[in-house]
Amino acid sequence: MQPAPYICCMFDSINSYLTRCSPVTGEELEYFDSLLEYKKVAKKTTLLHEGDICNFEAYIIKGCIRTYYIDEKGIEVTLQFAIEDWWVSDIASFHDHKPSSMFIETLEDCELFIINPSTKELLLSKIPKLERVFRLMVQRNLSVLQSRLFTTIATSAKDKYLDFINRYPTIPQRVAQHYIASYLGISPEFLSKTRTRLSKK
């Protein structure tokens, strides 16, 4: 067995993320890492509140985060669950410096890498290649969301749930069930009923 090329360090996961997206040199990687801010955040912390301007993009080293909206009646709609090796942000707010209409909240104790708008600018101007990486990230995001919209509109609660646990098999073990209901767009009670009906068959 070959020795590992690098000693395991906290940058490993994000660096491997990056190299998977685009061929970057060692120096570029080093520069990238040098601009990252490391942050530990406790469970149940709200990282972004509706009305705030989102000044971060966070890469999750460890933990679980959800982003959600709240409507006038107080109903929550979960937009995304993010776990290890994912990015979280409100890009629209981050990019245009305008107030966000969503919330971002940790569901577990988290370790994050943070970049803010100015470090992102710096990064992009120094390593233009990254423009592409970020574009690909957003593109992937978009196509996932497109297929989710389709599922949301076209399928029953049961099928939405089955699709969810199929797509994200590890999430149900990590987050409360009523969050999943709010992701699927159904009531927590009905999700519970759907689950028992499924397990009886």
Partner DNA sequence: TTGTTTTCTTGTCCTGGTTCAATGCCCGGC
Partner DNA sequence: GCCGGGCATTGAACCAGGACAAGAAAACAA
The residues that touch a copy of itself, with contacts defined as CB under 8 A, are 69, 71, 75, 77, 79, 91-92, 95, 101-102, 128, 131-132, 134-136, 138-143, 145-150, 152-155, 185
Rounded to 5 degrees, what angle do the CA atoms 33, 39, 44 make?
145
Residues forming contacts to DNA in the complex (CB under 7 A) are 75, 156-158, 176-178, 185-196
Q: Which does residue 198 bind out of a copy of itself, DNA, none, counting CB within 5 to 8 angstroms by kind? A: none
Tell me the closest approach of the beta carbon of residue 82 to DNA, in angstroms. Answer: 18
CA atoms within 13 A on the CB side of 112: 27
For a copy of itself, the closer of residues 119 and 155 by Cβ is 155
Tell me the closest approach of the beta carbon of residue 131 to a copy of itself, in angstroms. Answer: 4
For DNA, the closer of residues 11 and 179 by Cβ is 179
Q: Which does residue 189 bind out of a copy of itself, DNA, none, counting CB within 5 to 8 angstroms by kind? A: DNA
Q: Which does residue 46 bind out of DNA, a copy of itself, none, counting CB within 5 to 8 angstroms by kind? A: none
Q: Which does residue 166 bind out of DNA, a copy of itself, none, counting CB within 5 to 8 angstroms by kind? A: none
Question: For residues 85 and 17, is the Cβ–Cβ distance under 8 A?
Answer: yes
For DNA, the closer of residues 141 and 155 by Cβ is 155
Q: How close are the terminal C-alpha atoms of the chain, in Å? A: 48
Residue 168, φ and ψ in degrees, nearest 5 = -125, 70
Q: Which does residue 192 bind out of DNA, a copy of itself, none, counting CB within 5 to 8 angstroms by kind? A: DNA
Question: For residues 47 and 55, is the Cβ–Cβ distance under 8 A?
Answer: no
How far apart are the C-alpha atoms of 155 and 161, rounded to whole Å?
10
How far apart are the C-alpha atoms of 70 and 68, rounded to whole Å?
7
SS (H, E, C) 37-52: EEEEECCCCEEECCCC
